Structure 1
Amino acid sequence: MLPSWAFSQNSAFKAGEKLSFTASYNMSGVLTELAQVNMETSEVKTSKATLLRLKCTATTYSKWDSFFKIRDLYESYVSPTSVKPYLYKRDIYEGGYTKFVQYKYSHSKGTVESLIRKKKKGGGTYDQNKTLNISSSTKDIVSTIYYLRTLNLSSYAPGKNMSLTVLFDNKPTEIVISYLGKETINTNIGSKTCYKLAISIKNSNVLKGTNDNLLWLTADENKIPVFAKFKVAVGNGELKIKSATGLKN
């Protein structure tokens, strides 16, 4: 039986929302702004439904391109109300490494048709196709980020944990979200009282430390992600909001 929070309905965002962030990474002990991250929503009509396209891009600033060029695109096509995903695409370029991933969800069958496309060493590409079994609540990384904004966090007591299943690189991964309480922080869009969340991956050491991977969502009806801190094996960094337009509330 699914917990009550699994049935949250979206009242936090709509088509036309645009969030812009600066991404910083710890280089030789100094947090350095390296890239811009944008999150945008738009409406997409299919023959069967009207979906929300959740588009996330990461682009290094030009002065860092010669050092480590990043051109990443992540997008998920979801139900505007439940944020249930129907199609996911990931197309990345990171320092010469490229990868394309696509998931087509069939929730009635409990499956995902997965395609992963990689470069061959001698040139050209090759495809890996798989059919994956998923639970009814499984999401990709993009729809998970937006889904967190639909939760009724105002009803949570500090210390409450919840588990979410995220499909990443064809592996269902259990992510644990811990609600730490409210905190007021200064941001580029003003002083904001926020819900503070800690994020960890169950049975994995990809994310390092206890409460070292944190996300702040505004404690209002929009629940905008305004600040994030992360710590991984190769270092740590931050994501800070620059601007927010097209808000629903």
Structure 2
Amino acid sequence: MQYLTFAALLVFSFLGNAQNTAVSMNETLRFTAAYNMSGIMTDIAELTMETRPVKTSKATLLRLKCTATTYSKWDTFFKIRDLYESYVHPTTLQPYLYKRDINEGGYYKFMQYTFLKKTNTVQSLKKKRRGDGSIWEEKKVITIGKHTQDIVSTLYGIRNLDLESAQIGQTYPLTVIFDNLEYHITLSYQGQEIRTTKLGTKNCHKLGITIKNSQVLKGAQNNLIWLTADANKIPVYAKFKIAVGNGELKLNAASGLKN
């Protein structure tokens, strides 16, 4: 089930050093996550995305926090308490530190990346729970591409793409490091559509998502995201298909927007 959360986040995700014009320092977005159970799309969890400033001894960073929590009635079936967060430069959204804390039905996993841009490496720390309840850990130094980012900074960075001038069929390559592997992802622009959302009727940019040589997401026609066609580019709806089924995300509330 951890890849269900990954897929849900990814459908929200060439970022380089673009300037952040879309994401505020105090934004909160709340989504309903649904999964196809026995042919019926069922609401099973809430996904919350929050941004907050964090002061360090040297600078003010932007904390990008994503949490996934199953609704209480599903906790006895499969309890999810997942946390993904990235600490980034507030202007470029380039990551310095990434953390992932997964608790799903008794399964526990922790991942941490410290990004070292000068050497194009990440210092990786992994922790997992053994069958006897004890925790083991693994440390690695991994070489990455110049523009490789974590999943959280990627999903916020996509909102700064210049979609107003995009042509149908135009593609945007990006690379994400996840579970110590680099995933090469392509976003394809599919035009604009009107969607009815909790924020009202919105004109939206429609993007397809594919991952090269991966079973996580299959086919841009099956994995789609709609961003509002305005200066905020808020993700309002997404659908995805993975090996174990398909699901969707629907925006419920948005506050603290930049524009």
TM-score of the pair, normalised by structure 2: 0.93
For residue 147 of structure 1, what is the aligned residue in structure 2? 157
Return the offset for 1:168. Answer: 0.3
SS of 1:67's equivalent in the other structure is: helix
Return the offset for 1:209. Answer: 3.3
Instruction: Spell out the pairing of 1:14-93 with structure 2 (5 A cutoff).
Output: 14-93=24-103
Return the offset for 1:165. Answer: 0.7
2:201 aligned with 1:191, yes or no?
Answer: yes
Q: Which amino acid aligns with 1:96?
A: G
Using CA pairs below 8 Å that are at least 6 residues apart, which structure has the higher relative contact order? 2
Gapped regions of structure 1 (runs ≥ 5): none
For residue 107 of structure 1, what is the aligned residue in structure 2? 117
For residue 129 of structure 2, what is the aligned residue in structure 1? 119
Instruction: Spell out the pairing of 1:233-244 with structure 2 (5 A cutoff).
Output: 233-244=243-254
For residue 10 of structure 1, what is the aligned residue in structure 2? 20
Instruction: Spell out the pairing of 1:161-200 with structure 2 (5 A cutoff).
Output: 161-200=171-210
Q: Which amino acid aligns with 2:79?
A: K
Q: Which amino acid aligns with 2:87?
A: Y
Gapped regions of structure 2 (runs ≥ 5): 1-13
Contact 1:39 1:56 (8 Å CA) reproduced = yes
Aligned residues between the structures: 246
Return the offset for 1:211. Answer: 1.4
Over aligned residue pairs, what C-alpha RMSD do you find?
A: 1.1
Q: Which amino acid aligns with 1:194?
A: C
Q: Aligned partners of 2:37 and 2:219: how far apart in 1?
A: 19
Contact 2:209 2:219 (8 Å CA) reproduced = no
SS of 1:16's equivalent in the other structure is: coil
2:175 aligned with 1:159, yes or no?
Answer: no
Q: Aligned partners of 1:21 and 1:81: how far apart in 2?
A: 25
For residue 5 of structure 2, what is the aligned residue in structure 1? none
SS of 2:157's equivalent in the other structure is: helix
Q: Aligned partners of 1:24 and 1:117: how far apart in 2?
A: 29
TM-score of the pair, normalised by structure 1: 0.96
Contact 1:198 1:215 (8 Å CA) reproduced = yes
Deviations 1:47-87 (A, max 9, x none): 22211000000000000000111000000001111110000
